[in-house]
Amino acid sequence: MRQARYLNYLALAILVLGVATLVLGWYIAISGNLLPQYGVILTLGTVGAVACGIGYRSERPWIFGAGAVFMLWFAPTPLGLWPLGIGIAMLIAWAVLIVKENNVKFW
């Protein structure tokens, strides 16, 4: 993304956190024979990760943000809600900073 460098680092941290959470979720689901229960949820999270990656590479913050929310929401892990909370807090910080950086006004 063409924004300030710290926004790129924050976006990359969100993407890495989400992908790591998804990888852990897929590993737990496959190794614990829980694929019938968690397969659809993890597939939706993977679709969100792909959208997040496309938004990051193509420098489209709205696609990145939507994919990040989808990816973080649909990534079940044995760690509970901690990764979701941390990821959403990082995503809110990223959204506030990108709106300030681009001088976007919604009203």
Q: How do the domains of the chain map onto residue ranges?
A: 5-102
Answer whether 76's CB lies under 8 Å from 25's CB: yes
- What's the mean pLDDT when you consider all of the chain? 89
pLDDT higher than threshold 60 for residue 107: no
What pTM did the predictor assign? 0.87
Dist CA 74 CA 40 (whole Å):
9
| Segment 19-75, tens digit of pLDDT | 999 999 999 999 999 889 999 999 999 999 999 999 999 988 899 999 999 999 998
